[in-house]
Chains A and B, each alone.
Chain A
Amino acid sequence: MESYRILLTNSQIEYLSHQPENGMGYQIVDLTLKSGDVLMKKVVLNCSFLQLDDQEQLNVEDIIKIELHRD
């Protein structure tokens, strides 16, 4: 499956910069979208780049909340 990345906003980057990593260089997050959908267990690289699958067409404006994923 192909993937692509979007750059998060400064406030999202700032928030993630203060959250623990899940492994070297990445965090696993849940995203709440404007539509009400919640995308779970997505990868963010370097607190900045959200990695998405090709079929998940998203803009950063679609995200209203980003949180670390909790198992």
Chain B
Amino acid sequence: MIYKTYLSDTSKLLSLPETGMGYQIIEGKLFLEDKIRQYVVYNCELAVDLDDDFLVNRRKIIDKGFSNALNESKSLLINTDSIKIVTGKPTYETRLLSAYKQSKNKRHSGGKGAKENPKENTDGNETFVRVSAYENDKRIDFKRKRLIEGSYTTTLIDYYDCITTDDNPVDRYALPNDEPVRWAFYIKPAIRDVLQRGIVQPAFGHEGGGIEAFFEKGTSDNTLYLKKEYGVL
């Protein structure tokens, strides 16, 4: 459930430290109840049960907008004196947020990076996309219209997921620079081309979770068929 806090509780929350930027994880007792419950409170005024439905409720807040969620919520009947900050749990919220990102942005978790996985042949029909900050991307052989040896791409499906969920490609593909991605190179490898595919592992302070495909030997000539601005489908 999503609740708004009473003014007295907001005042109390304002006197307590944040758990992370913009939120607090608290516990307390509801009136007429002995059980201690936990909540994530945003901006000291919007509380969400920290239970199995947390991600669903958080999604509702984002979809509706903070103000609408606040207006539509019932008040949280918590005993002000029982409110305490939960300590030692920030990683729990982080984990939940990470899970939320996976769900919202269709990211993948766990698994292995591409180089750790077995080699496979392409089927000649699948399209891969290389995103880049550089129009003159050095891993593209523009003369022979191919990907050069030892280069990474993502799949077209993952690229679409990145765009349609309005995801951040720098975080999704764990890129070491925060330069904006500007270009997308579309490659349809030939049947004989070999790749390894996997999940982008966390790196450079980014979460990863996109799909990566590594072409140790590059792709055949004339497999690069399209260059577009990033985000234009």
Whether chains A and B associate is yes
**Number of A residues contacting the other chain (C-beta, 8 Å)?**
17
Given contacts A45-B133, A46-B132, A46-B134, contact A21 B175 (CB under 8 A): no
The contact string, 1 if C-beta is below 8 Å from chain A, for chain B 154-195, is: 100000000000000000011111010000000000000000
Majority-rule SS of B interface residues:
loop
Residue B200 CB within 8 A of the other chain: yes
Binds A, one of B40-48, B81-89, B143-151, B219-227: B143-151
A-B contact count (CB 8 A): 66
Residue A25 CB within 8 A of the other chain: yes
Indicate if the CB atoms of B149 and A25 lie closer than 8 Å: no
Q: List 5 additional A-B contacts (Cβ < 8 Å) besides A25-B132, A25-B139.
A: A18-B148, A21-B151, A25-B137, A45-B176, A47-B139
Residue B131 CB within 8 A of the other chain: yes
Given contacts A13-B138, A46-B137, contact A20 B173 (CB under 8 A): no
Q: Which A residues are CB-close (under 8 A) to B19?
A: none
Q: Which A residues are CB-close (under 8 A) to B139?
A: 17, 21, 25, 46-47
Q: Which A residues are CB-close (under 8 A) to B179?
A: 45
Indicate if the CB atoms of A20 and B216 lie closer than 8 Å: yes
Contact of A24 among B130, B138, B148, B216 (CB under 8 A): B130
> Which B residues are within 8 Å of any A CB, using their own CB?
130-134, 136-139, 148-154, 173-177, 179, 200, 203, 212, 214, 216
Indicate if the CB atoms of B176 and A51 lie closer than 8 Å: yes
Given contacts A25-B137, A46-B134, A46-B137, contact A18 B149 (CB under 8 A): yes
User: Nearest chain-B residue to A26 (Cβ)?
Assistant: B176
> Which A residues are within 8 Å of any B CB, using their own CB?
13, 16-21, 23-26, 43, 45-48, 51
Given contacts A13-B138, A43-B177, contact A24 B133 (CB under 8 A): no
Q: Which B residues are CB-close (under 8 A) to A43?
A: 176-177
- Looking at A24, A26, A47, the one whose CB has the most chain B CB atoms below 10 A away is A24
